[in-house]
Amino acid sequence: MKLSAVDKKILQEVASLHDVPQGAYNIRKDGEGISRKSTENIEIQVKKDNPGIDIIVKPGTKNESVHIPVLVTRTGINDLVYNTFEIGEEADVTVVAGCGIHNTGSEEARHDGIHTIYVRKGARLRYVEKHYGEGEGTGSNILNPKTIIEIEEGGMAEMELVQIRGVDHTVRVTEANLYKNASLIMIERLLTHGDQVAKSDVIVNLLGEDSFTQVTSRTVAQENSEQVFYPRVIAKAKSRGYVECDSIIMDKARVRSVPEIAAYHAEAELTHEAAIGKIAGEQMLKLMSLGLSEKEAVEKILEGFLR
Amino acid sequence: MLELKGVTYKIPGEDKEIIKGVDLTFEQGKFYAITGPNGGGKTSLAKLIMGIYKPSSGSITFKGEDITNLEINERSKKGIGYAFQYPPRFKGLRVIDLLQLASEIEERKVVRGYLRQVGLCPEDYLDRDADASLSGGEMKRIEIATLLGKNPEFTIYDEPDAGVDLWSFDLLLNVIKQKHEKEGLTTVLISHQERILELVDEIVLIVGGKIQDVGTKERIWPIIKDVVGCQWYKVCRGDVEDEAECRR
Ligand SMILES: Nc1ncnc2c1ncn2[C@@H]1O[C@H](COP(=O)(O)OP(=O)(O)O)[C@@H](O)[C@H]1O
Ligand SMILES: [Mg+2]
C-alpha cells in the first residue's frame, strides 16, 4: 500500500507516524480500511454486522501497541465506524487512535467513531486519541467520537484526548464504568478557534469499591469559538473522584464548564475544581522580559498549558 | 549606562503619582542597592526601567539610546533584565522551559548549571512544572537562575532575599556578586538587608516615590535608620512637628 503526502501528513499529526506503523494497526481512509496488520498477540478483525473492527488483545500481552488512525481526505465524506477493543486480563498496551481530516472542498467531511473498550481484570491501557483538521476548503470538518469504556477489577486506563485546531464541530461523549479497584485517568486537551464549537460530555460511574478517577480538561478558546464541558463523576461505592476543568479564554470566545459530582455512598470522596480566565498578565510580562514578543509569549503560555 | 530624567509615574486612571520626578544615573560596572520603606516605589522604579510601566513623563536612556518608548522585549534584547519580586507561576511550563527561554545556550547541561548555582539540585527541579507546587523561596531561586542564564548587562534583582533561607541567600549573593565582578556587569539589588547594603558600591534611597539620597553605606545608613523612619512616620501621621519627638 502506498500512502500519499497528504496521508502521511495526517498520520504524523494524529499518530506521530511517518509511515505504516510498527506492531498491529488498521488504517482507515475515506470510509474504508486500506491496510491492516494483526500480530501474534493482537488480532484485528473486520466487523460483520457494522462498519468497523474488533481489536482483541490476548491476556498477558505486554508493551505492545495498536495504531488505528482514520484519514478523511475527501470532501463530502460521512464516515461512521464502530470499533470494539478487548484488552485481555493482565495485558499492558497502548492504543493510538485518532482522526485527521483534510478537506479541500465545500462540503462537510465527517467522521463519527463509536468505540467500546473492555479493560479486563488487571489490564492496563494507555489510550491516545488525537483529532486534527486541515485543508483550504470551505466545508466543515466534523468529528463526533463516542467512547464507552468498561474497566474491570484492578484494571487501569489512562486516556488522553487531544484536539488542537482544525476541527469545526465536535461533540464528544465519553462514558466509563469502573469496577472494584479500577482506575481511570482522563485528560482532555483542546484548542478551538475561528467559529469552532466543541462539546464534551463525560460521565464516569464509580461502581466498585476503591475505584478511582481523575478527569481533567485543559482548554483554550480563541476568537469566536465556543466550548461546553459536562464532566460528571458519580460514585456508587466507597471510591474517590476528582474533576478539574481549566480554561483560558481569549478574544470573543465562550466557555461553559459544568463539572458535576454525585455521591450515592457515604464513603465516597469527590471533589471538583473549575476555572476560566484570561492569560495572566504577569506571565506575559515575565516572558517578554526574557525577550519574547507578545505573540511569542502567548504561544509559549498556551503551548505549556495544553501540554 | 542607564539614566532616568524627570521620570514620573501615575497609575493609569488614578491621580496618585507613585514615582515623582526621579533623576538617577547608574554607571557601567557598578554594584547598586535600592532601598527604602515598603511602598516607597522600589519595584515601580524597576518596572519603569524594564518597560513594564511606561513613564507619565520624563525619559530613560540606556547606553546613550533613548529607550523610553521601547517595549519590554526590546529592552530585554538591549541588555536589561529584571528578576521579579513576585515571579509568576506557569501551568505547564517546566523549570527547564523557563531556563531555556532565558538562556542563550539552551543545552540541558548548561541550564543545569544555573540551577546548581542558585543551590537547587537540577535533577529535582528541571522537569518540574514552574507552577503553584513550588514554594516562594524555590520560585525566587529559579527566577534568579533564569537571569543568570539570560545574562543581561544591566540587571535589577527585586528583593532576591525574600523567602530564601539564610544559607542559600549567602550563596545567591556570592553568585550574583562574582558574576558582577567577573563580567563587568551593572547590577542593582533591591533590598533592606544590611548585609547587602554593605556589599554594594552605592545605595539609592527611595522614599514616597522620590529619590531621597544616593551614596555609600557610610552616608546612607544613618539616614535610613534615623530620618527615614521619622519621615515615614510624619508622612503617615501628618501631625508630628518635631523630628526629635518622632525619633523617641
Ligand atoms: N499597579 C499598581 N496599582 C496601584 N498601586 C500601585 C501599583 N503599583 C504600585 N502601587 C503603589 O505604589 C506604591 C509603590 O509601590 P512599590 O513600587 O511596589 O513599592 P516597594 O517596592 O518600594 O515596596 C505603593 O503604595 C503601591 O501600593
Ligand atoms: Mg517591591
A286: left (phi over 0), alpha (psi -120 to 50) or beta: alpha
Q: Does B19 touch chain A (CB under 8 A)?
A: no
As a whole number, mean pLDDT of residues B119-133 equals 91
Query: Please, are residues B4 and B193 in contact by the beta-carbon 8 Å criterion?
Result: no
Cell 485481555 maps to which residue? Answer: A88
A274 in a structural domain: yes
Chain B residues close to A218, C-beta within 8 Å: 91-92
Residue B48 pLDDT greater than 70, yes or no: yes
Quickly count: other Cβ atoms within 10 Å of residue A266's Cβ. 6
- B11 within ligand 1 shell (Cβ under 6 A): yes
A136 in a structural domain: yes
A286 in a structural domain: no
Cell 464507552 maps to which residue? Answer: A148
DSSP output for A184-242: EEEEEEEEE-TT-EEEEEEEEEE-STTEEEEEEEEEEE-TT-EEEEEEEEEE-SSEEEE
pLDDT given at position A44? 96
- Which is nearest to B158 in space by CA: A24, A98, A289? A289
For B98, which residue in chain A has the nearest alpha carbon?
Answer: A287
A220 in a structural domain: yes
DSSP A90: T
Instruction: Describe the crossing of helices B108-117 and B136-150 by its angle, rounded to 10 degrees.
Output: 130
pLDDT given at position A178? 98
3-class DSSP assignment, residue B199? helix
Which one has a higher pLDDT value, B71 or B195?
Answer: B71
Which residue range(s) make up the domain with A247? 5-281
A290 in a structural domain: no
* Half-sphere exposure in the Cβ direction for B243 (13 Å, CA): 8
- B133 within ligand 1 shell (Cβ under 6 A): no
pLDDT given at position B111? 85
Out of 3.90.580.10, 3.40.50.300, 3.40.50.2000, 3.40.30.10, select the CATH number for domain B2-215.
3.40.50.300
Q: Does B97 touch chain A (CB under 8 A)?
A: yes
Question: Do the chains contact at B73 and A305, CB–CB below 8 Å?
Answer: no
B138-192 residue pLDDT tens:
999 999 999 999 999 999 999 998 887 777 788 888 999 999 999 999 999 999 8
Give chain A's contact residues with B (Cβ, < 8 Å). 218, 246, 280, 282-283, 285-294, 300-301, 303-307
pLDDT per position in chain A (307 positions), as tens? 678 888 888 888 888 877 777 889 999 999 889 999 999 999 999 999 999 999 999 999 999 999 999 999 988 888 899 999 999 999 999 999 989 898 888 889 888 999 999 999 999 999 999 998 888 888 889 999 999 999 999 999 999 999 988 899 999 999 999 999 999 999 999 999 999 999 999 999 999 999 999 999 999 999 999 999 999 999 999 999 999 999 999 999 999 999 999 999 999 999 999 999 999 999 999 999 999 999 999 999 999 999 8
Domain count, chain A: 1
Task: Measure Cα distances from B71 to A196, B13, B79, B194 in Å.
Answer: 33, 21, 13, 34
Chain B residues close to A292, C-beta within 8 Å: 73, 101
Q: What are the sequence ranges of the domains in chain B?
A: 2-215, 218-248
* Cα A1 to Cα A301: distance, rounded to the nearest angstrom: 41
A299 in a structural domain: no
Residue B233 pLDDT greater than 60, yes or no: no
pLDDT given at position B248? 45
Question: Do the chains contact at A301 and B71, CB–CB below 8 Å?
Answer: no
Residue B234 pLDDT greater than 60, yes or no: no
ipTM, 2 decimals?
Answer: 0.91
State the greatest distance between any 2 C-alpha atoms of chain B, in Å, as a whole number. Answer: 61
A126 in a structural domain: yes
A298 in a structural domain: no
Pairing mode of beta strands B31-35, B186-190: parallel
3-class DSSP assignment, residue B66? strand
Which residue from A280, A289, A303 is facing B50, i.e. has the nearest CB? Answer: A289
Say which residues have a Cβ less than 8 Å from residue B119's Cβ, sequence separation at least 6: B141, B168, B171, B172
